[in-house]
Chain A
Amino acid sequence: MKITPLIGLEVHVELETKSKMFCGCPADHFSKAPNTQTCPVCLGLPGALPVPNKKAIESCIKIGLAVNCSINRLSKFDRKQYFYPDLSKGYQISQYDEPFCSEGFITLDSGKKIGVERVHQEEDTGKLQHTNLNGEKVTLVDFNRSGVPLVEIVSKPDMASSTEAKEYLKKIHEIIRAIGVSNADMEKGQMRLEPTINVCIENESGTHYTPLVEVKNINSFNFASQAIDFEIKRQVEEFEKTGIEKTPTNKTTRGYDAIKKVTFLQRTKEEAKDYRYFPEPDIPPFIIEDEVVEKLRRELPLLPHQEISSLEKIGVDAKDAKILVSLQNRVAIQIIHDYSDDNRVEVNKLASLIVNGKLDPAEHVLVQYEKLTKVGNTDTAELSKIVQKIIDNNPGIVAEYKKGKTNVLGFFVGQAMKETHGSASPQALTKILKEKLDS
């Protein structure tokens, strides 16, 4: 029996524009007093109309370009209709059959390409708070988030493991941050993940596909990875038990319980929603000219994979380059490039010192670098003095060492590190210590 998981991901990213998607209210809603950032439009009052935010659409197109999508010349908004108390208009303005961007890809480190089906623009909903008020169980609605621009990035079911899914997500996360359209802070809910999973099972009776399962609203890469692994296992077991295969209508929706580490059923096909999409009549269709796309393309900064290879090219270790880029440490990356032609500095060492937190790229870099490389590697006489002092001050512990309790060496190294403010190399210290103690 051969098992191949088929994993697709829907990623929602809240854009950090100044104003909301269809009105002038501030888009930054995090920890603001409830319902203080609202207006007739995002409250869905009678007669209110949406006016699209150009900046947000540009950000959406930039994301599309960064994941290698083609930008559609003709696009439009549609209404996605469902009832929920946090949805002020009774519909969400989204994009159905003519998104701004389609058919892109992300390349994993292995070289495997994960297809991106579409990148489209929509708006966020309000938030419900279930709470107690004057001893009564109530649900309150906060519309500060209502109408905040949201971009949805939909992949193809091209990932075959949770590891690949996690790598894909990390790359998306890095790209979003690199192009500066959002911090994509998972804890603030600025990036939300929805994996869709099923499994291709090849056995003696042929090739079978298990029913699709969409896992809703996950807010961490690890949870996404755990949910995927759980689903793969669950679906294979379920198939072995029931033999039920995928049909066009038996997709189900599940939630993820991060404490129990299990997914649980939320909605079956009987409850599947018909969103009754139709073109949003309040917003005319868009024609996006090539010049606009090219202008946005020119505005894109180096993307993470481009930045990593540019660091590698000047001599930074691949591991360090990846860390620097994933941390989006702009200052450090710039400094490393600045010193790449300076023969007083070895770029790979500089990068490693920064990555290990020993050198602060915002301070006098050269001074720090020289001190660190000098003390750590060359000035053994200085270290020797420090070590001698520590030995002299701790005769009891020296005695213990001599009795054969060699693990006290760690104590001496620690003391010496403290003395040198962490600038000494532990290896060098250990060497000196051993020489002195064993003599």
Chain B
Amino acid sequence: MKPLHALSISEVHAGYLNKDFTCVELVKHFLKRIDKYNPKLNIFLDLNENALKQAAEVDIEIAEKGIDRELLGIPMAIKDNFLTVGISTTASSNILKGFMPQYESSVTGKLLAAGAIFLGKTNMDSFAHGSSTETSDFGPTLNPWNPEKLPGGSSGGSAAAISAQLATAALGSETAGSIRQPAAWVGVTGLKPTYGRAGRYGCIAMASSTDSPGPLTRSVADAALITRVISGEDPYDATTSPTPVEDYPSFLNRKDLKGIKIGLVKEYLMSSMSEDVKKLILDAADKFRELGATVEEVSLMDPKYGIGVYTVVQRSEVSSNLARFDGIRFGNSRDTFCQESKRRIMLGTYTLSAGYYDAFYKKAEAVRTKMIDEFAEVFKTFDAVIGAVSPTPALSVGATKDQPMFGEMEDVLVEPSSVAGLTSVGLPCGFVDDLPIGLQITCAQFQESKAIAIADCFQRNTDFQKFPDLDKTL
């Protein structure tokens, strides 16, 4: 039998029903692993002290009624920007150190309603400002594959929790790459839903116009299940869509990809990309052909424009979203913002200032519209576009030092799809220097089912979803 920490959601449920183990046993198992590995990896910032009590309740429920909730007894790791009643929420910032939320975020509320058990809150870049977890005020998370490397970010803690097998599934959020990029660097699956698919209420805002909550998981199948749970119109978030939520797990297990047309984005195979990474992407393209899909090169706007647009829009929104942390009613004073947050507040304040608004924000919005139109045009012909998530494997701890645009350079390949509000699955497609490399499969808005079907077919027909042996890597 597989160890308890290596089970998928459906395997956990099968184990409960077979009475192979109880929920209390599973939660205890994870808490023990967290106790052992967390001091080294710095993945969890705070643990849910009621986890075992909740697990005992789950065991009673299963004994009485079986499993009639989708995530019943599934131990999860939650990114620290989601407000969770009873577990402190800081967005990895000193300004919110010790903050106890007064209300539950919409998506964590849905996860709880589906029966999930939160093990704890995971480290992230402070206020999600970064792609490494190095901007966290509580120290960086380390990459389970190699503790000298970064896990990526901003959902680095949640991604590493899956890679290190410290939880069955995890919740993250992506503004531009914050799910897919850490998933790629630690070698797990991450799904960024369409903007407006899952509610943002209770998710500490980074860039309001692109923030999207989404899962980090052991497989596309697990991601499909969690995406179904967290999706749907949120009465507390006016930007969520009334588009009906599809039954994502029903799109899994597709035999082949016949009839699927995939675009390989030319501009995303950048010259600065290492040959090894490029080769893995071209190999993946061949794999898709082998599975029956047609793969053709397609041209999109140079991704560098994505950086420009994203930087202006996101900094502007950040400067505004962080204004409420005025140190009067909750939290610490504003000087406890980390350097990166301060930098973003300054830049955003500047781009919104009288006389600069037209030159920066308005122009960025215009380019953004152009990017959205361009993707729409591509998706008239193609079901999905693919490319690398990140031009490099995980970089070394300390790499962000003196590089204020570090995140943007790392996220160059994921920012255009985020700016356009598309859905995308990131999943492992091989290794370079013993570090995982991520592939992204991006589809049009609200085409989660298509992205899931394609990603799942690829994943089941390849063998890249691996987990490090922590006793060897650490």
Contacts and interface: CB of A to CB of B under 8 A. Distances in A.
A118 B45 CA distance: 50
A40 B102 contact: yes
Contact of A81 (B203, B320, B329): B320
Interface string B98-137: 0101110100000000000000000000000000000000
A264 B187 CA distance: 66
Contact of A79 (B82, B91, B209, B320): B320
A44 interface: yes
B326 interface: yes
Contacts of A44: 324
B400 interface: no
Given A40-B102, A278-B361, A47 B324 contact: no
A44 B327 CA distance: 12
Contacts of B238: 49-52, 282-284
A46 B349 contact: no
Contacts of B101: 45-47
B201 A47 contact: yes
B320 A51 contact: no
Contacts of A302: none
B239 A48 contact: no
A79 B317 CA distance: 10
A40 B329 contact: no
A91 B320 contact: yes
Contact of A47 (B204, B235, B316, B319): B204
Contacts of A51: 235-238
Interface stretch (A82-90, A347-355, A387-395, A412-420): A82-90
Interface in B160-216: 200-205, 207-209
Q: Most A CB atoms within 10 A — which of B82, B236, B239, B357?
A: B236
Contacts of A40: 102-103, 202
Contacts of A85: 326, 328
A278 B239 contact: no
B239 A89 contact: no
Interface in A26-54: 40, 43-52
A274 interface: yes
Contacts of B317: 281
A239 interface: no
B357 A49 contact: no
Interface string B336-361: 00000000000001001110010001
Nearest to A44: B324
A223 interface: no
A51 to B, nearest CB: 5
B353 A274 contact: yes
Contacts of B329: 43, 88, 141
B96 interface: yes
A221 interface: no
Contacts of B99: 46
Nearest to A82: B323
Contacts of A91: 320, 323
Nearest to B355: A274
B208 A281 contact: yes
Given A46-B324, A79-B320, A282 B103 contact: no
A276 B352 contact: yes
Interface in B234-277: 235-239
A401 interface: no
Nearest to B330: A45
A379 to B, nearest CB: 69
A47 B320 contact: no
27 contacts: A45-B101, A45-B103, A46-B83, A46-B89, A46-B204, A46-B325, A49-B205, A49-B236, A51-B236, A51-B237, A79-B320, A81-B323, A81-B352, A85-B326, A85-B328, A88-B324, A90-B320, A90-B322, A90-B324, A274-B353, A276-B352, A276-B354, A277-B357, A278-B316, A278-B352, A278-B357, A282-B238
Interface of B: 81-83, 89, 91, 96, 99, 101-103, 105, 200-205, 207-209, 235-239, 316-317, 319-320, 322-326, 328-330, 349, 352-354, 357, 361
